[in-house]
């Protein structure tokens, strides 16, 4: 994909990839991206480069689920690395060091769960979104046909962000909640099953 597409700002593409790995699992507005990127480019260019990185199987920007036919494309994307190795290769942390940092380890688990679904979405099995309502957020929303699966990954979070599973379930119909991690399905057991297994339940 990257070889077949024209890239006028390769430094911007590289920095966007690095930024996506650093903030994987977090909502990052295009405005905030601008403050992090030295080669700014415009919003259209950054969105296009995210699409290129997605096509290359590296990084995707998840749109916010809005309950309609598509996500809110103008919304701030949730950055999602498609392989946790892309994150750990840049961190320089050993496995034991990564486990000691609750927030970083939580983001790795979050990214692993998201990548599990994002890679399935790339094959057409489902569609993957994020969701946020003020300070309440849902880690992932998976749509397969008429069925919504709301996925909350229990991990360390910023104190100003509250899990939104209950609110999401009350807001949308034809939804099925799924909790991964603490008080739910263990992440290792979750990742050992194909996405089709969880969508069929």
Q: What is the model's pLDDT at position 160?
A: 47
CB 12 within 8 A of CB 41: yes
Contact predicate 87/108, CB 8 Å: yes
The mean predicted confidence, pLDDT, of the chain is: 81
DSSP state of 77: P
The whole-number pLDDT of residue 72 equals 54
Q: Dihedral (C-alpha) 30, 32, 34, 38: value to the nearest 10 degrees?
A: -140
Q: Which residues have CB under 8 Å from 10's CB, separation 6+?
A: none
Cα–Cα distance for residue pair 110/135, rounded to 1 Å: 18
Place of tokens 């089709």: 196
Q: What pLDDT is recorded for position 37?
A: 61
Which pLDDT score is estimated for 188?
A: 92
pLDDT by residue for the chain (201 residues), tens only, comes to: 566 778 888 888 888 888 888 888 777 665 666 555 655 556 778 788 888 999 888 999 898 888 765 555 555 778 899 999 998 888 777 888 888 888 788 888 999 999 999 999 999 999 999 888 877 888 899 999 888 899 988 865 554 455 688 888 888 876 788 889 877 899 999 999 999 999 876
* Token digits of residue 86: 């892309």
The answer to whether the beta carbons of residues 25 and 107 sit under 8 Å apart is yes
State the pLDDT at residue 100. 86
3-class SS of residue 121? helix
d(CA 86, CA 195): 21
Tell me which H or E stretch contains 171.
helix 165-171
Does residue 141 sit in helix, strand or coil? strand
Torsion of CA 127, 148, 46, 90, to 10 degrees: -90
Provide CB contacts within 8 A for 6, sequence distance 6+.
Answer: none
Q: Which residues contact 47 (CB under 8 A, 6 or more apart)?
A: 30, 61
What global pTM score does this model have? 0.81
Can you name the residues that pair with 134 across neighbouring β-strands?
A: none
- Give residue for tokens 């690095």: 18
């Amino acid at each position: 994909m990257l070889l077949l597409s024209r890239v006028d700002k390769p430094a911007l593409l590289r920095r966007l990839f690095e930024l996506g790995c650093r903030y994987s699992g977090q909502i990052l507005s295009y405005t905030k991206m601008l403050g992090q990127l030295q080669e700014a480019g415009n919003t259209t260019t950054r969105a296009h480069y995210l699409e290129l990185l997605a096509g290359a199987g590296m990084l995707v920007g998840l749109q916010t689920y809005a309950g309609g036919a598509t996500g809110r494309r103008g919304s701030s994307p949730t950055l999602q690395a498609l392989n946790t190795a892309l994150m750990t290769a840049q961190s320089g942390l050993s496995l034991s060091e990564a486990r000691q940092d609750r927030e970083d380890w939580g983001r790795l688990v979050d990214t692993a769960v998201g990548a599990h679904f994002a890679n399935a979405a790339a094959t057409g099995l489902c569609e993957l979104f994020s969701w946020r309502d003020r300070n309440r957020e849902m880690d992932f929303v998976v749509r397969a046909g008429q069925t919504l699966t709301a996925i909350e990954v229990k991990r360390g979070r910023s104190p100003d962000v509250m899990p939104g599973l209950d609110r999401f379930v009350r807001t949308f119909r034809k939804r099925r909640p799924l909790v991964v991690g603490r008080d739910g399905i263990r992440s290792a057991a979750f990742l050992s099953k194909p996405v089709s297994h969880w969508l069929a339940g």
